[in-house]
Amino acid sequence: MTATTDGSPGTPTHRTPSASSASDPDPVPSGDAEAAAQRAVQRAADHLLARQHPDGWWKGDLETNVTMDAEDLLLRQFLGIQDARTTAASARWIRSQQREDGAWPTFHGGPGDLSATVEAYVALRLAGDDPDEAHMALAAKWSRGEGGVAASRVFTRIWLALFGWWDWDDLPELPPEVIYLPKWMPLNIYSFGCWARQTIVPLTVVGALRPVRPAPFGIDELHVDPARPNPKQRRAPITSWDGVFQRLDQVLHVYRRFSPRPVRRSAMNACARWIIERQEADGCWGGIQPPAVYSVIALHLLGYDLDHPVLKAGLDSLDRFAVWPQEDVRMIEACQSPVWDTCLATIALADAGLPADHPALVKAADWMLAEQITRPGDWSVQRPQLAPGGWAFEFHNDNYPDIDDTAEVVLALRRVAHPDQARVDTAVDRAVRWTVGMQSRNGAWGAFDADNTSPFPNRLPFCDFGEVIDPPSADVTAHVVEMLAALGVENDPHARSGIDWLLAEQEENGSWFGRWGVNYIYGTGSAVPALAAAGLPADHPAIRRAVGWLESVQNSDGGWGEDLRSYSDQEWAGRGHSTASQTAWALMALLAAGRRDTPAVERGVRWLAETQLPDGSWDEPYFTGTGFPRDFSINYHLYRMVFPLTALGRYARSEPFGAAGHTVSAAAGKGA
């Protein structure tokens, strides 16, 4: 069992450098920050180069929380395809993540989470753990103290309903007929973020059919009152949005009883077609595990046999989300990040001084060029006339390229001296046109869709599993602005509107909110380099305020860190254990702001150099990536490599914006 502590936002506990780092046979004098940076850069670059796949890409493990592992075991139980080795290996991983108080957190060092604990508990019971065992009894007691199963999230109770542990009538309703709503109507499927719509469409089928495959045991021990497992929630006033949507849910429950059967069957068939049309070449859906799981269940319930090519490919794809840290331990990734990791690794190595025509960089560029998406996806519902040209996050995800990856891939490609420069220029031009075309009306950019800002999806009682819309964010907008500035078109109207939006979104304390990374350090570490690259001087008020905030939250050990609880509690903003990736983000911002030769930067550089491991990597158990703020957190295992290398490389080479580029997009020069 792994013990964790919650710490305190006012006094973050600082991790001391690993003992192994002290055994470096040739340490750099601690007073020489430049020499320390150069040594660290060389070792980190060597380590990163050694991790490149022969095909040219990089991919680190993507660690989330045990709900992925628990739901994988629940799926196998539901379909009747469990096997002893997989079950035992997954159970070992789940047990290893339990806190001393019996709960499971959703991120390293975080507090216990009720839904994660309930799902982990039932998965371990399926794996054979007895409820009287100490770790199970502790988990059940903790769960009851938090309100029991009735207080868990909707998706957890959907899983329990599949096995008869929860009543389908006591779950929010969302009918499959939602597939018929036109895009101009509220709550049509395209008003949800792409990750949510891929999950919701198959779940409407599951909820309509309400299957129950009874489990071999009960879970009364997880209920506060087993006789009344779902005390009715007090309804909000009809004058409030919550009250309106609670009553809408009641109407949908009534509609379920009286809905015309032909209409219901037709809607479920339409959902099945929608799901199958979006299956990727590797059998997955959207390159992420949850929609794949629910799509497999929905299609199976509609009569697709497990040997059907669609389901067989889907099940095979799920096995590719499995990581085996040890021979007898199995962890499930929620997603895989090869495009993101590869473009960031390319930028890091180029900024570290690797020659622009180095074979590793050329091979990475070739792989990225081959991954560009040249066919329309769901984004084209809002932009039907826009030509495709983006990149996705994963190996296979042609339906959902994202703007963040596309901007960073362009920045990476510009750092490579490719033998076929015309091919690179064509790809960059296509990408810039697509990215600019995905700009939202307010001048900023979201991750996957344009103007995905409806206030209604988050109000549905069904949608309590995290963020379900994709509004523009500071970090994505900053990366696009940085890309446009690198192409020399920072004065283009598209870039200027993005800059204006960023300036308006700056927090009072000088930071920016980080949607896809933790949190204000990530947002600020993205915004400052973009604004500086776009021409804002170091004495601009926005830059000065950002610098002041970053320097004010530097930890006493010289690093920077921020706990995920900053998404809910401002006391945690900019505060937490020092981490390699967050220290790098802060350094990248300070370097871009012209603060290279300051004590804050020197102390940050020294912290990175002193905590580097002998193999050139860094240890980073803390989660610094964000799936959904407050609900779903990510530890990208390559972040601890690529971002420190980028920051140290820029410091050592005195290039605050990284290596100079090699291409300029003609299309971008014409305003895309």
d(CA 409, CA 477): 15
- In tens, the pLDDT along 2-41 reads 333 344 444 343 333 333 333 343 444 445 889 999 999 9
Residues 326 and 382 in one domain: no
Q: Supply the DSSP string of 219-233, one letter for each residue.
A: -GGG-SSTTSSSPPP
Is residue 135 a part of any domain in this protein?
Answer: yes
Residues 295 and 374 in one domain: no
Q: Which of 283, 300, 332 is a domain's end point?
A: 332
Residues 162 and 119 in one domain: yes
Residues 428 and 577 in one domain: yes
Write out the residue range of the structural domain in which residue 245 sits: 63-214+234-332
Is residue 318 a part of any domain in this protein?
Answer: yes
Residues 122 and 41 in one domain: no
Work out the widest C-alpha separation in the chain, in whole angstroms.
Answer: 78
- Cα–Cα distances in angstroms (integers) from residue 435 to residues 5, 269, 382, 475, in the given order: 42, 34, 14, 15
Residues 535 and 628 in one domain: yes
The pLDDT value recorded for residue 233 is 59
Is residue 289 a part of any domain in this protein?
Answer: yes
Is residue 225 a part of any domain in this protein?
Answer: no
- Cα–Cα distances in angstroms (integers) from residue 251 to residues 244, 254, 256, in the given order: 11, 5, 9
**Tokens 């990040």 — which residue?**
337
420: Cβ contacts below 8 Å, ≥ 6 apart? none
pTM: 0.91
Distance of CA 142 to the CA centre of its chain: 28
Is residue 535 a part of any domain in this protein?
Answer: yes
Residues 445 and 327 in one domain: no
The pLDDT value recorded for residue 462 is 76
Residues 206 and 342 in one domain: no
The pLDDT value recorded for residue 667 is 47
- Cα–Cα distances in angstroms (integers) from residue 43 to residues 202, 579, 644, in the given order: 47, 18, 12
What does the DSSP 8-state code read for residue 105? B
d(CA 481, CA 497): 9
Is residue 643 a part of any domain in this protein?
Answer: yes
- In tens, the pLDDT along 360-405 reads 999 999 999 999 999 999 999 999 999 999 999 999 899 999 999 9
Q: Which of 297, 332, 367 is a domain's end point?
A: 332
Which of these, 126, 144, 121, 57, lies nearest to 87 by C-alpha position?
126
d(CA 121, CA 143): 10
The one-letter amino acid code at 272 reads A
Whether 69 sits among the annotated catalytic residues: the reply is no
The pLDDT value recorded for residue 307 is 94
Phi and psi, residue 373, nearest 5°: -95, 125
d(CA 234, CA 242): 11
Residues 38 and 169 in one domain: no
Which class for 240: exposed (0-12), middle (13-18), buried (19 or more C-beta within 10 A)? exposed
Selecting among 402, 404, 449, 563, the annotated active-site residue is 404
- In tens, the pLDDT along 192-242 reads 999 999 999 999 999 999 999 999 999 999 999 877 666 555 677 776 766
CATH of the domain at 68: 1.50.10.20
Is residue 220 a part of any domain in this protein?
Answer: no
- Work out the mean pLDDT of the chain and round it to a whole number: 91
Q: Which of 276, 299, 332 is a domain's end point?
A: 332
Identify whether the C-beta of residue 71 lies closer than 8 Å to the C-beta of residue 293.
Answer: yes
Domain count, the chain: 2
Residues 599 and 507 in one domain: yes
Q: Which long-range contacts (CB under 8 A, 24 or more apart) does 438-442 make?
A: 438/379, 438/383, 438/386, 438/390, 438/403, 439/480, 439/494, 439/497, 439/498, 440/471, 440/472, 442/472, 442/501
Pairing outcome for strands 62-63 and 322-326? unpaired
- The tokens describing 356, both together, are 């622009």
- In tens, the pLDDT along 602-618 reads 999 999 999 999 999 99
d(CA 88, CA 91): 5
Give the pLDDT mean for 490-494: 95
Estimate the crossing angle of helix 134-145 against helix 114-126, to 10 degrees. Answer: 150
User: To the nearest whole percent, how much of the chain has pLDDT over 90?
Assistant: 82
Backbone CA torsion sign across 281, 282, 288, 289: positive
Q: Is 283 left (phi over 0), alpha (psi -120 to 50) or beta?
A: left
The pLDDT value recorded for residue 236 is 72
Residues 428 and 533 in one domain: yes
How many DSSP H helices and E strands does the chain contain? Answer: 23, 5
Residues 53 and 108 in one domain: no
**Tokens 């590797």 — which residue?**
282
d(CA 267, CA 464): 24
Is residue 3 a part of any domain in this protein?
Answer: no
Give the pLDDT mean for 254-262: 86
